[in-house]
Structure 1
Amino acid sequence: MKSMSFGRTFTAFAAVATMLATGCLARPVGQQPPTTKVNFTSTVSQQAVDKVDLLIAIDNSASMGDKQEILKDAVPNLIQGLLQPPCVDRETRIPLDSGEKADPSGNKDDNYGCPQPNSEPDFKPVGDMHIGIVSSSLGNFGGDVCPPDRRRTNDGGKLVNINGKDGQKNPLAPLDFLAWYPQNEENEDKKRHPEPEGGGFQTIGAADQIDQGGITPNFQNLVIGVDQTGCGLEAQLESVYRFLIQPDPWDVVRLDNFQQADLGEGIDLDVLKQRADFLRPDSLVAIIMLTDEDDSSADPLAVGGFGYAFMARSFPGSKVNRGTSAQGTTAPRGTSKCETDPAHAECTSCGFASSCDPNSESCQKIKQDVNCTSSPIQGQSGPGFDGFYGPTDDDLNVRFHRMKERFGVDPQYPLKRYVDGFTKFRVPDRTGEHTIREGANGQRLISDYVGTPKCTNPLFASKLPSESGDEICLLGRSTRSPDLIFFAVVGGVPNKLLHFDSSGTPEASERNRISNDDWVKILGRDPANFDYEGIDPHMVQSVAPREDLLGAGSATSARGQNGTDPVHGREWNTAKKDLQYACTFDLTTERSCATGTESCDCTDDQSNPAASPNPPLCATDGSATQIKAKAYPTIREFQVVRALGDQGIIASLCPIQLDPQRKNDPDYGYNPAVAAIIDRLKNALTQQCLPQKLRSAEESATGTGLPVPCLVLVQLSPDSGQSCSSLGLKVPDDAILKVFKEQQKAESGNTSAEGAIDLSTLETCELTQKAVPPGETCANDSTLEWCYVEKAAGTTKNPAGRCPQALIFASGTSILAGARFSLQCIQQFGANEASGDTPQGSSSGGEQQTQSRKH
């Protein structure tokens, strides 16, 4: 059934304005009722992103030095990819054979240096960028595993500004981050693009040529400066959250008289100041995390205020020494139910046996559980022994994996904290994370994590606090929307699970996307509920050899016998002090472990082979020489990536190849990761990909330009001096405008805060749609219009680029500086017509939030 025209749809808006309350527009249909209705709203960009804030989160624990060197090699490609995108054929969107790059000092008039008239930049070169680095070290969270007096075990979630290996700050980063600010036409607008302190970098510079200046070698030096001397219990996710999102980052974690963690009332003002300097309210924010291990930090207030205990050498109440007393004591086990059903209510910690109410049924079950009534030490039993792990069963190095199954509790922050932090407009401050009340004896009764969202998320705030006395919670809303935040993790996963396509064609982008089936192989069917069915055996976290991988070689093989598995070699004897690997790769420079070098893995005692680990990383001649590096399954980080959908990016820490003669090849080092990251950012830097087709197959097949059932509303900047009438744009129907402004009012947050904008007060116009046939575009028109574009069947004409379909703004809309654009659509299909994929969060009649973006 053919749907009716957009013109008829628009005339019906006033009569059905209540449909806008669901965030969608109504479209009349033919006489036969449709079988499927797909509604969606979408944030749209008018090539509006002209600032990028890039945060690199680097694991600085032992063994990361080699990976940092590889990242250093990838920096030039990352910089060039953003600042000098390739010139592409206007029609096919394929890079020119000549390999020409766009010029970041150029402008629209000179086509940014791309040959005219048949080519253009793949996207407009980034001309205003901040680059900062945070490490994974946040100290002990109230515990004592990482020596506080040791250099770099607690970077506090602050920006790491260390110039290479010399330990000194980079004087060209006066605010502890690098600023890219070339001399170009856009940066002449000092109101929109204020000049950074120190002037920023105007040249890209050559790799490793620090004496020549330029942002590339300075970025490389900051990467190497992170080093590998940090805390071994890595806080990868929390470090990012602390720097970008936590409204009130704690100053210090102390223990009270009851030995419960207390975050106090102090605030780390240094974090707030750095955040305010680094993060702009209207930038694209990209976080790139590099780590070889799983997220391994605790919520100090978890488990009734004893979450920190999992980061302590000696667990409170335990008498089971881990080797000697100097090595501390072990943690309590989980009840027997945890071994088969960790989500069950009876899965809990044996540690509660000494403090639970003996009159309750649940307490009696703990006290009588077989795991909680047995001692790991022969001849010793009772409190401190019964229910605790044995001396060799709870090494601190492997404590943070599958915690609910092993300990009956999970003291880590829930992953929802981080997903919400990247996507929600409001987040909890410290008082909203846990419900705390005082007990009869003065001891605090601390609930599990609740995460009540009380405060404006700093990622979506118009003005950030920077000093004592500033409002930190009820901030005004900025113009940034969640689709301008990207989170990439380069972590422990086999490359074979990511099927990297290095062809560089528009189709390669889609082939590189990770499907639901791929995610099952990486994480399992439902890891949040402990369902790991379908997971690739290399991604299983285990101290013991994984049975499905034993065919590649014995776990007790001699040193140098590295197995036959192309992903990780073989399993090995971890002695319960380490995890099996997700993947390994060849080092470019072999490392001698004979001197006991820290983070060297081939230091085992060959005089006692049975007790030696012999990991599959050592020279084949049996010497104490390490020839391979490794990565462990980074499960929690990847779970966040998966939950973020298109805003999440996954890549492998184990390079496909490291041939120094092939550094420019697409599969060298972390070039695949860089390519995946830049490819995903393109959608925010160029056209707006749409989640499904807005024309039926019949409509597209006609080859004519039929309008699509969408409306684009433009909210003009109050600083532009523009109006709908002066621009020749129509004011939307009153009924539509009323509901839209109500939505915008709700989105505005605290409009009384300094710098806040009441979005409902912005003048709103309707942007005209230009209907174009498949294969055509309005991109180069000088009018104030937008168009829906799709590839023309049987031709190379693909104005949507790598997208199946996209929204394009005419070049004439560039005069709408500071404007916000909002797209709302409805599509209806008749019987036997496919609707395509429904975007995540969509429904046929449920409420959806309209989002906007500022230009």
Structure 2
Amino acid sequence: MDAAATIDREGALTMKWTNRLGKWLFVGGAWSTTALMLGAAGTGCLSRPVGQQPPTTKVNFTSTVSQQAVDKVDLLFAIDNSASMGDKQAILAEAVPDLIDGLLRPRCVDSEGKPSPGNEKAKPEVSKEERYGCPVNFEPEFKPVTDMHIGVVSSSLGNFGGDVCAVAEPRTNDRGRLLNISPDGGQVELAKPGNFLAWFPQAKENEDAKRHPPPEKPIRQIDGDDGLTKNFRDLVVGVGQNGCGLEAQLESVYRFLIQPDPWESVKLDGANQADLGEGVDIEVLQQRADFLRPDSLVAIIMLTDEDDSSADPLAIGGQGWAFMNKAFPGSKVFRGSTGEGTTAPRGTTTCEQDPGSEDCTSCGFQSLCDKSQPSCQKIIADKNCTTPGSDKGQGDGFNGYYGPREDELNVRFHRMKERYGIDPQYPIKRYVDGFTKFKVPDRKAEHVTKVAANGRRDIANYTSTAKCTNPLFAAKLPRQAGDELCALPRSTRSPDLIFFAVVGGVPHQLLHFDPNDMEKSRITNEDWVKILGRDPGNFDFSGIDPHMVQSVAPRTALGLGGADKQLGDNGDDKIHGREWNTNKGDLQYACTFDLPETMQRVCGASDTSCDCSPNQSEGLNPPLCGAGNKQIKAKAYPTIREFQVVRALGDQGIISSLCPIHLCKEGDPSCDSAKNPPATYGYRPAVASIIDRLKNALTTQCLPQKLREVGAEADQVPCLVLAQLSEKEDSCAAHGLSAPKKEILDVFLAQQRAESGKVGEGGLDLAALPVCEIPQKTVERGLSCKDEAEMLWCYVENDPANKKNPAGRCPQALIFSSGTAALAGARFSLQCIQQFAAGEASKDQQQQ
């Protein structure tokens, strides 16, 4: 081939070209994170005649695409169950009907996407032939979901080897398992035995028992005591707010959905190093295998008011657990007036201005480092490691540790590299990879460990060396002791069928939600700079909105005077009221919101979940209180790490605010409906954003560029669609299809064989599965092939002038006919080829 080829770290071949030959020269691999290039040097190029001139250069790409029959949804809610989450859980419970309605009863729309005159909604129990209950000339915005699992996990994963959250309290460690707790403390009957709800109405689609195995306790109605809405609401409220105060929001999700071998417990060895042991939590594996189908759309919806606050116990040479311990090893500085534990070491002075510098490290290393090395002498001589300075505590000589009032556990997990010189948390990449990569590390691959001469374990830093099939992309999951954990067969799911939504601490004013135009509600790069800063991963927070800055002290840009206000004076900042005196034991807020009278409460002296306790001391004055210790507002802190994951996921990530635009109920005479429209009530904006993103995956396959030149509407596009069947025993002939040409098939199977990995260890040889070519049908602009009974596909473009929009909200799309529904379970691959006549490609400039 003439094109330059490179191989990335995952072995995917990528080709780079500069587009100088027209509108539809494609750059290999640029379509999605799943794009894998075929046609490497030595393996040949896919070829297909396009035009009559002899081609000399072929640029091609492959993209995994979703066939339209995505007919299962697995919905996982990750709900923060720490103190003060009760009011937010109640608001989420109110939004449950909107979420259920949006997925199960989509709007009836015409060919232009306009709703029916009576605003009718589809009915999941009605057949496709009857348009799912929509009026004549209307159809559902997307096919109603008729097979859905709904589960809930909490943010509590315990101490990770420390002792912050009492082991005796049962809800401080929910182990990343699915929860089945009713509001009265019992269990939701319809969530038994797997601890999740199974929506499975009596619909025609569910008659195929092989494709849709009936659940043990199917929920067949939406409303009523036995309906999905009530039971879903009960699961949400049952999560409660009595969990661990150091939340593991991201790790709980990773543990349940992704970790190949979830640990049973974290213990400390004789050298005080964390040890995850050899055991595996079989209950997590069994619940995962029951809940997660291999061919479903997966949506994770997280609700939290605080930043992710858990440690990787094996970080810092097996000492990461110490940040979740009351007494920090080696420290003699007792914390606070109660003397409950000791403080952690400071970071060196460089960390305050340049956390990414190699000179930014922990003062705690001064007693362990090699004093003959200049780097060690730098630590020993650093002023932060010898004396606290005038603004760093009380007295002198803390030997590099924080003073008694400077390291409260409640605020330890923010800006850690800047404050401690080290960051013991799992890297953000762990979670991004978990949602997007086909392979992930098991526990042993996360930290390479060797035994040193002195008997201690030499534990390396976290690495993302991927060796195991990611359970999110596995066709068969382990469920009992002895089952294969790592070399699992691949499923048909692709990363574009996984969504991660966070309803967290960010002012809704930064999100510009517009209920009448979801495109305007999309978050831009400029918006992300205001939310997280320009490059938070490299400590560049320039451009960040001051409300999103994590700080125990009042933030200068928001007014220092708020710290002196009386309790009950909640300020006039429209986003968060005002700054407050945290006494270094809490963070400033990202946003606050008024609680309706029914949610307001008078705080008791021992109520740790209430922010206006009569025991407020030493000038604490949160801007949340009314008269008589009554809490009239709720708050959220900046949820930085969760939003970093959302940002990295691009279109698969969804952000929404935990602080509602308003809580003024429709019909309340005291409400101004013009100023407080129902569409912006509570968490309806979050639900609307989530449904808007999911419906794209449940409808057509958008394409980022046109595949036809102007005037070539009658021509086929230079693409193939290959369907890889799910069973070895199946055949193309059984479906009336043919295999692709040998030269195409050989290259495709070589790529599949490479993707299969260690077949000898139990993995599925993808190259052994039958591969069929799906015929292409050419349709004119504005027309579609979606209702064709034959198995075929077509490339469609909207025709706005004639009000024909077969691609829906996409300008162009890939459409599968209804006949291809018989291939449910197959993996579909789009392969496009652009060829150039002799001499044309030489005009291109390669990028090295």
1:819 to 823, 826, 838: 826
With a CA cutoff of 8 Å and minimum separation of 6, indicate the structure with the bigger relative contact order.
1
| Partner deviation per Cα, 1:384-409 (whole Å, 9 max, x = no partner) | x2111111111111100000000000
The equivalent residue for 1:654 is 659
The equivalent residue for 1:601 is 611
The equivalent residue for 2:13 is none
- What is the SS of the residue equivalent to 2:807? coil
Report deviation, 1:645. 1.1
Contact 1:39 1:844 (8 Å CA) reproduced: no
| Partner deviation per Cα, 1:471-523 (whole Å, 9 max, x = no partner) | 111111122111111111110111121111101xxxx2322221111111111
2:84 to 41, 63, 67: 63
2: distance between equivalents of 1:614 and 1:37? 68
1:224 to 211, 220, 237: 237
Q: Structure 1: 5+ residue runs without aligned partners?
A: 7-15, 207-211, 831-842, 847-855
| Partner deviation per Cα, 1:688-744 (whole Å, 9 max, x = no partner) | 111233234xx1xx59444333221122343895524x6554432221111111112
The equivalent residue for 1:737 is 745
Show the 5 A alignment for 1:261-660: 261-324=274-337, 326-375=339-388, 381=397, 385-503=398-516, 508-550=517-559, 554-588=562-596, 589-603=599-613, 611-619=618-626, 622-660=627-665
2: distance between equivalents of 1:155 and 1:23? 51
1:201 to 219, 240, 243: 219
Please tell me the residue identity of whatever aligns with 1:509. Answer: M
Report deviation, 1:333. 0.3
The alpha-carbon distance between structure 1 residues 133 and 357, as it changes in their structure 2 partners (threshold 3 A), is same
The alpha-carbon distance between structure 1 residues 603 and 758, as it changes in their structure 2 partners (threshold 3 A), is same
The alpha-carbon distance between structure 1 residues 37 and 804, as it changes in their structure 2 partners (threshold 3 A), is farther
- What is the SS of the residue equivalent to 2:607? coil
| Partner deviation per Cα, 1:51-110 (whole Å, 9 max, x = no partner) | 111110000000100000011011111111111111111x11122231211111122211
The alpha-carbon distance between structure 1 residues 20 and 98, as it changes in their structure 2 partners (threshold 3 A), is farther
Report deviation, 1:751. 4.1
The alpha-carbon distance between structure 1 residues 392 and 481, as it changes in their structure 2 partners (threshold 3 A), is same
2: distance between equivalents of 1:260 and 1:185? 56
Please tell me the residue identity of whatever aligns with 2:219. Answer: F
The equivalent residue for 1:834 is none
2:123 to 83, 103, 109: 103
The alpha-carbon distance between structure 1 residues 720 and 780, as it changes in their structure 2 partners (threshold 3 A), is farther
2: distance between equivalents of 1:630 and 1:329? 29
Report deviation, 1:776. 2.2
Please say which of residues 337-346 and 733-742 is displaced more in the overlay. Answer: 733-742
Report deviation, 1:130. 0.9
1: distance between equivalents of 2:261 and 2:24? 52
- What is the SS of the residue equivalent to 2:309? coil
Please tell me the residue identity of whatever aligns with 2:455. Answer: G
The alpha-carbon distance between structure 1 residues 689 and 845, as it changes in their structure 2 partners (threshold 3 A), is farther
The equivalent residue for 1:849 is none
Report deviation, 1:766. 2.2
Does residue 673 of the first structure (1) align with residue 682 of the second (2)?
Answer: no
The equivalent residue for 2:199 is 180
The equivalent residue for 1:853 is none
Contact 2:188 2:235 (8 Å CA) reproduced: no
Please tell me the residue identity of whatever aligns with 1:685. Answer: L
**How many residue pairs were aligned?**
797
Report deviation, 1:22. 9.5
Does residue 715 of the first structure (1) align with residue 724 of the second (2)?
Answer: yes
Does residue 192 of the first structure (1) align with residue 202 of the second (2)?
Answer: no
The equivalent residue for 1:147 is 166
TM-score normalised by structure 2 residue count: 0.89
Does residue 72 of the first structure (1) align with residue 90 of the second (2)?
Answer: no
Report deviation, 1:137. 0.2
- What is the SS of the residue equivalent to 1:465? coil
2: distance between equivalents of 1:462 and 1:640? 25
Report deviation, 1:230. 0.3
The alpha-carbon distance between structure 1 residues 391 and 97, as it changes in their structure 2 partners (threshold 3 A), is farther
Report deviation, 1:598. 2.3
2: distance between equivalents of 1:298 and 1:797? 54
The equivalent residue for 2:770 is 763
| Partner deviation per Cα, 1:523-553 (whole Å, 9 max, x = no partner) | 11100000011111111111111111118x6
| Aligned-residue CA RMSD (Å) | 2.9
Contact 1:475 1:750 (8 Å CA) reproduced: no
Please tell me the residue identity of whatever aligns with 2:720. Answer: L
Report deviation, 1:251. 0.9
1:48 to 41, 46, 69: 69
1: distance between equivalents of 2:55 and 2:770? 37
Q: Structure 2: 5+ residue runs without aligned partners?
A: 1-19, 26-37, 669-676, 838-844
Report deviation, 1:819. 2.8
1: distance between equivalents of 2:835 and 2:577? 53
- What is the SS of the residue equivalent to 2:518? helix
Please tell me the residue identity of whatever aligns with 1:518. Answer: D
The alpha-carbon distance between structure 1 residues 714 and 287, as it changes in their structure 2 partners (threshold 3 A), is same
2: distance between equivalents of 1:628 and 1:25? 64
Contact 1:141 1:300 (8 Å CA) reproduced: yes
- What is the SS of the residue equivalent to 1:286? strand
The alpha-carbon distance between structure 1 residues 559 and 411, as it changes in their structure 2 partners (threshold 3 A), is same
2: distance between equivalents of 1:314 and 1:777? 67
1: distance between equivalents of 2:55 and 2:569? 68
Please tell me the residue identity of whatever aligns with 2:519. Answer: E
Please say which of residues 303-312 and 273-282 is displaced more in the overlay. Answer: 273-282
The alpha-carbon distance between structure 1 residues 394 and 813, as it changes in their structure 2 partners (threshold 3 A), is same
- What is the SS of the residue equivalent to 1:41? strand
- What is the SS of the residue equivalent to 2:748? helix
1: distance between equivalents of 2:189 and 2:441? 35
- What is the SS of the residue equivalent to 1:525? coil
1: distance between equivalents of 2:630 and 2:412? 28
Please tell me the residue identity of whatever aligns with 2:640. Answer: I
Report deviation, 1:568. 0.9
1:94 to 96, 105, 114: 114
The alpha-carbon distance between structure 1 residues 171 and 776, as it changes in their structure 2 partners (threshold 3 A), is closer
The alpha-carbon distance between structure 1 residues 38 and 144, as it changes in their structure 2 partners (threshold 3 A), is farther
Contact 2:24 2:708 (8 Å CA) reproduced: no
The equivalent residue for 2:141 is 122
Report deviation, 1:667. 1.0
- What is the SS of the residue equivalent to 1:511? coil
1: distance between equivalents of 2:42 and 2:785? 28
Does residue 134 of the first structure (1) align with residue 153 of the second (2)?
Answer: yes
- What is the SS of the residue equivalent to 1:132? strand
2: distance between equivalents of 1:655 and 1:341? 36
Report deviation, 1:146. 0.8
TM-score normalised by structure 1 residue count: 0.88
The alpha-carbon distance between structure 1 residues 193 and 112, as it changes in their structure 2 partners (threshold 3 A), is same
Report deviation, 1:826. 5.0
Contact 1:476 1:750 (8 Å CA) reproduced: no
Contact 1:27 1:827 (8 Å CA) reproduced: no
- What is the SS of the residue equivalent to 1:475? coil
2: distance between equivalents of 1:728 and 1:175? 40
2: distance between equivalents of 1:440 and 1:344? 31
2: distance between equivalents of 1:735 and 1:22? 9
Please say which of residues 461-470 and 311-320 is displaced more in the overlay. Answer: 461-470
